[in-house]
Amino acid sequence: MKKVYIETLGCQMNKSDSERILGMLSHFGYEETTEPKEADFLIINTCSIRQLSADKAYSCVGVWGKWKKERNENLKIGFCGCVAQQDKEKLQKRFPYIDLVFGPSNLYMLPELVKRIEAGEKVCAVSERPFEADESQFEIKRAKSLNAWIPIMEGCDNFCTYCIVPFTRGRERSREPEKIILEAKKALENGFKEITLLGQNVDSYGKGLGEEVTLANLLRELNKIGGKFRIRFVTSYPTDISDDLIKAVGECEKVCEYFHIPMQSGSTTLLKDMNRRYTREEYGKIVGKIRKAFENVTITSDFIAGFPGETEEQFNETLSAIDEFELDYSNTAAYSPREKTKAARWVDKFIDEETKMNRLAVLNEKNREACLKSNQKFVGKTLEILVESFEERGGKTILAGRARNNKIAHFEGSKDLIGEFVNVKITKASTWHIAGELV
C-alpha cells in the first residue's frame, strides 16, 4: 500500500471533501497516514476565505516541495480546495513541484487524475462550470468521530461583497433527498451518532428540485430513521430560515436546537454595503422567533471587523448586537480583501490595519463575555450530553461531550460512556465550556 497524507484547512465542507478524497484513494492502493513524512502522496485541501488561510497553504506546500527535492523525488504533491479553484495554472508556475491541482468541482475525477500523475504527468484540473456529478461510486473514509458530515447543497448565489465562496464553490446546487437519506442511513449503520447536514446556505436547500424539497422536509424524512441519534445543520442564511423550518425543528425530536446564523455586522448600513439581504431589525426578529420556540436553544454567529468604510459607530453597533440578541458565541475575523469580490475594489474605504486589529480584539473580548454569560444561563439545568472524549486529570476521568445546543460539557465519569447519551446537571460555567455531574 502507498501512503497518502491530507492536510485540511477551512470549513466543514473541506473536511467532508477530504473524507471523500481519502475514500476514493483507498480504492487505488492509498492508505491514509497521519505522518506527512511517511507519505508517498501529500495533498493539501485549501481555504481561500482570507489571505491568511491562503498563505498557510502556500507555506505548507513550500515545505513539501523542499522534501521532494531533498529526500524523495518520487513524492507526489496535490493541491486542491478553494485556493486551487482560484489560482488554477498559476499554482504550478509558482510551485513547479506540485503534480496535481484540482478544484472542488473536480473531486469526482480524482481516480483518473491520480492515474495520470502516477504516469509522470503534471495535471491541472480546475473546471469553470459548477459540477453536476457530485456522487462518486466510492466509499467515504470518515474521520474517527461520532459525527458524520453530509453535504446537502453546495455553492452560493448570494455574492456578499466581501466573499470569495461564490467564485470558488460555484452556483448553488442541491443533492437529491434520496441520496442524502441513503448516506445518512449508512453512516448510522456504521455507528455514527450524529449527522450534520452541510451547505454554504443550508436553509436554501432544495432550489431547483421541486417545491416539496426543502430543508424542513428533509429533516422530517431523516427524523423517521430508527434509532437514537442527532441531526444538525449548518450554515443558515438569516432570511432563508422559514417558519416551516422552525416548525420542523420543533417537531423532530432528533433535530438539535442549535442555529448558526452569521450576522456579519450589527449596522444596517454596512449590511447593505455587504449585500446582505436583511436589516439589523430583521435579523433580531428571526432570532427572537427562534428563542421563543425553543427553551435551551443556542444561536451562534459570525462577524467581520473593519469592513471597508466601517465607522467606529457602526462597529459599536456590532458590539451592541451581540448583547441585544444574546448571541451565544461568534466566530470573528478581520476583513481581508479577496480578489474578484466587489468590496476589494473599495480601496479608498479600506480601514487601516491597526484599527482593524484593535476592533477585532475588542470584538473578541465582547464575544468572550457573551459566551460566559451564555454558559451561565445553563447552570442548574440538566442537559442531554453525547459523550465524545475523555481526559485523565488528577486521578479522575473527565469526560467531554456536547449538549443538543452544541455546548461543550465536562464531567466525571467512566470512559465506557463514550458514544452514549447521558444526562448531566450543570453546576459550573466557564468562558468556553460548562461543567457538571452525571445524573
Return the one option of ligand SAH, ligand SF4, ligand F3S, none that residue 82 interacts with (CB less than 5 to 8 A, by type).
Answer: ligand F3S
Report DSSP state, residue 280: H
Question: What is the separation, in whole angstroms, between the first and last Cα of the chain?
Answer: 48
List residues bridging with 4 in a β-sheet.
32, 41
| Residue selected from 159, 244, 292, 419 as contacting ligand SF4 according to rule CB under 6 A | 159
**Residue 403 touches which of ligand SAH, ligand SF4, ligand F3S, none (CB < 5 to 8 A by kind)?**
none
Partner whose binding site includes residue 166, from ligand SAH, ligand F3S, ligand SF4, none (CB under 5 to 8 Å by kind):
ligand SF4
Q: Is 215 in the site for ligand SF4 (CB under 6 A)?
A: no
- 24 or 333: whose CB is closer to ligand F3S? 333
In angstroms, what is the minimal distance from the CB of 8 to ligand F3S?
Answer: 9
Q: Judge contact between 297 and 328, C-beta under 8 A.
A: no
Q: Crossing angle of helices 243-251/215-223, nearest 10°?
A: 10
List interacting residues with ligand F3S (CB under 6 A).
10-11, 13-14, 47-49, 81-82, 164-165, 168-169
Residue 14 binding: pick among ligand SAH, ligand F3S, ligand SF4, none (C-beta 5-8 Å cut-off by kind) = ligand F3S
Options 50-58, 82-90, 151-159, 402-410: segment touching ligand SF4 (CB under 6 A): 151-159
Under the binding rule (CB under 6 A), the answer on residue 153 touching ligand SF4 is no
**Least distance to ligand SAH, CB of residue 250, Å:** 23
Q: Interface with ligand SAH by CB under 6 A: which range of 33-41, 314-322, 329-337, 394-402?
A: 329-337
C-alpha cell at 101: 491541482
Site for ligand SAH in 241-280 (CB under 6 A): 262, 264
Which residues have CB under 8 Å from 130's CB, separation 6+?
A: 105, 155, 169, 170, 171, 173
**Cβ contacts of 362 within 8 Å, gap of 6 or more:** 315, 319
Helix (H) / strand (E) containing 153: strand 153-154
Q: How far apart are alpha carbons 338 and 50 in whole angstroms?
A: 7
163 lies in the binding site for ligand SAH (CB under 6 A): yes
Q: Is 200 in the site for ligand SF4 (CB under 6 A)?
A: yes
For 221, the enclosing helix (H) or strand (E) is helix 215-223
Give bridge partners of residue 133 from the DSSP assignment. Answer: none
Cβ count within 10 A of residue 416: 10
Q: Are 289 and 299 in contact (CB under 8 A)?
A: no
ω before 235 within 30° of 0 (cis)?
yes
- Taking the C-alpha atoms of residue 91 and residue 103, their distance in angstroms, rounded to an integer, is 12
For ligand SAH, which stretch binds (CB under 6 A), given 79-87, 158-166, 176-184, 267-275? Answer: 158-166
Beta-carbon count within 10 A of 355 CB: 15
Binding segment for ligand SF4 (CB under 6 A), chosen from 63-71, 158-166, 381-389, 411-419, is 158-166
Identify the H or E element spanning 132. none
Residue 30 contacts ligand SF4 per CB under 6 A = no
Interaction between residue 163 and ligand SF4 (CB under 6 A): yes
Residues that bind ligand SAH (CB under 6 A): 49-50, 162-163, 165, 200-201, 235, 237, 262, 264, 302, 304, 333, 335-336, 338
Sites of contact with ligand SF4 (CB under 6 A): 156, 158-160, 163, 165-166, 200-201, 237
